[in-house]
Amino acid sequence: MKFSLCILSVVAAVACAATDVATQQKVYKSYTSPDFPRDSVDIQFRQQKNKDSYYDALKTFNNLILPKEFPESALPLAIVTPSKANNKGLEKAIKVASQFGLRVSARSGGYQSGYSSNMAAVDNNREDFVLLDLSKLNKVTINPKARTATAEPGTTGLELYTEAIKYGLHFAGPHTARVTIGGFLLQGGMGIGSRLHGAGVDNVIGFDIITADGKTVYADAKHNKDLFYAVRGGGQFFGVVTKFHLRLVPMVKNPTLVPTYNETSVQIDQVFAIFDRPQGNQLLNFYSKFDPKAPKALENKVVFTVDAATNAKQYLFASVSAAPFNTSSAVTKAQADITKWYKTLPTNFATSDPSTYGGVIHGSDAGWADSDLSYYAEDLWFPVPLDPRLQKVLIKQWDKVPSALSSMALNTGTWDAPTKSALGYDRSYSLCIYSTWKRNGTAAWDETNRRWVDETVKALKPWTLGYYANELRPKKLQDRNYWSKCYEKKTYKTLKTTKNKWDPENIFKSL
């Protein structure tokens, strides 16, 4: 077991949250005892002498709130980072936490828009907790014959895509290839090809999850069905998933049983255009009429961006075929209709030439290439079709965006979801709102960027069906109804029942 100078400092053991010094000592002793599985597990303690190592382990991708800026109640007593899922270290970590009255939270990549893996950001209570960092669990195994994959929660979209496409296969995973699939799938996962194949959770055929008693159980459509339903869309409340079993779909006409393809050899039909600010209303009008009737094999999206060189507002429209090997006459005609339409307008750039699989999976990466970013985000669900008044509000709010690094993405929803899961809101659009900026040391600049999201969400409220639970904005702890806003009423009731059954002591996040 690697401790990185993890020597508990009794002198520095100032009580943080509700855990007294004696309990902290007992937790430390349990995690460092010979009985604790020691193979490839790194543990950092809040009260260790080497605080830099602790903060390094706590660091998230997002600079909105740096670890040293967290309130004391958001600092975990211990951070457990395994590099193997099968050494029983995670099970033991949960058992120890439960034994000493600690809560347990987990993260797969630390991409949260705030610090939502830290209990103080998401729970009304301020109990102390242990953070399980699963980012090093990134093993992927492809079964090309069965067209399935197993993947650990720290696997990035790119790692999964790269392995699957070797056999001509694909998973409806994240638009940004660097995002890890743990958080993506536990909250539903609107991904590449979701309109045709369903959301990411519709393509999860089973998972291994450690529940509150510290034991790993398997759940699928036949085993532990209530857990299978709930975790796919509401996963953070019920346990810690260590492995996903996934259904893959063909991305070429003849998938193979041996590695044959790569991300540049597979061609994808697409139409792509960039419009400047004056064409924004015309684009949204076209989109609202075109998308509902377009073939399911087409994934259509509008991305609101800013030209960094001129600070001018822009709109990107992309229509990508999710089944390029089987492009029907309807798909060909639909993309021809898009091309015919965009040629009637001034465009900053436009093409109807095919892309590559690599171009599609990396299409949203550029905005996240710099690790020195802060972002404050929210995802909303909208009904179909898009209300004309909603379109006007979107343009109005986009005109107010303060940072050129920010973006919004209007994604075609999971239409007629092929499975029943906690995700819900079928036949809807998701709007991803990302206020993205670099901190300059002034609180006013940070507040300006946060306020824009809050004001945009407020302006869009009349059309909002619900909120995507994976894009949690840091909220006031008194907002006891937050999670109920993220799910349909019937689904939320089912989640509460499942929570009471599988986590009666509320070890994991409060629902």
CA distance 217 to 203: 19
Per-residue pLDDT of the chain (511 residues; tens, 9 = 90+): 443 333 333 333 333 445 788 889 999 999 988 888 867 789 999 999 999 999 999 988 888 888 898 888 889 999 999 988 777 889 999 999 999 999 999 999 877 666 677 776 667 666 899 999 999 999 999 999 999 999 999 999 999 999 999 999 999 999 888 889 998 998 888 889 999 999 999 999 999 999 999 999 999 999 999 999 999 998 889 999 999 999 999 999 899 999 999 999 999 999 999 999 999 999 999 999 999 999 999 999 999 999 988 999 999 999 999 877 666 888 999 999 999 999 999 999 999 999 999 999 988 777 776 778 998 888 899 999 999 999 999 999 999 999 999 999 999 877 788 999 999 898 899 999 999 999 999 999 999 999 999 999 999 999 999 988 766 555 554 566 778 888 999 999 999 999 999 999 999 988 8
DSSP string, 17-78: TT--HHHHHHHHHHHHSTTS--TTEEEEETTBS-HHHHHHHH--S--SS-GGGS-GGGS-SE
User: Are the beta carbons of 231 and 209 closer than 8 angstroms?
Assistant: yes
Q: Name the residue among 306, 469, 319 with its Cα closest to residue 380.
A: 469
**At 85, is the secondary structure helix, strand, or coil?**
coil
Is the distance from CB of 211 to CB of 230 less than 8 angstroms?
no
**78-82/140-143 β-pairing:** unpaired
What single string gives the DSSP state of each residue in 352-397? -S-EEHHHHHTTT-GGG--SS-EEEEEEEEEESSPPHHHHHHHHHH
Interstrand relation of 249-250 and 349-351 (parallel, antiparallel or unpaired): unpaired
Q: Is 264 left (phi over 0), alpha (psi -120 to 50) or beta?
A: alpha
Domain 267-467: give its CATH code. 3.40.462.20
Q: What distance in Å separates the CA atoms of residue 209 and residue 232, rounded to the nearest whole number?
A: 12
Pick the CATH number of 21-133 from 3.30.70.270, 3.40.50.300, 3.30.465.10, 1.10.540.10: 3.30.465.10
CATH code 3.30.465.10 region(s) in the chain? 21-133, 140-256
**How far is residue 213's CA from residue 234's CA, in Å, rounded to a whole number?**
19
Residue 178 near residue 171 (C-beta atoms within 8 A): no
Tokens 């005609």 — which residue?
Answer: 333
- The class level of CATH for 140-256 reads alpha beta
Which one, of 122, 102, 106, lies nearest residue 114 by Cα? 122
* 346 cis-preceded (ω within 30 degrees of 0): no
- Cβ(104)–Cβ(78) below 8 Å: no
Report d(CA 487, CA 481) in Å as an integer.
Answer: 11
Provide CATH 3.40.462.20 ranges for the chain: 267-467
Q: Which amino acid is present at 267?
A: Q
With left for phi above 0 and alpha for psi between -120 and 50, is residue 332 left, alpha or beta? alpha
Q: What is the SS3 assignment for 286?
A: helix
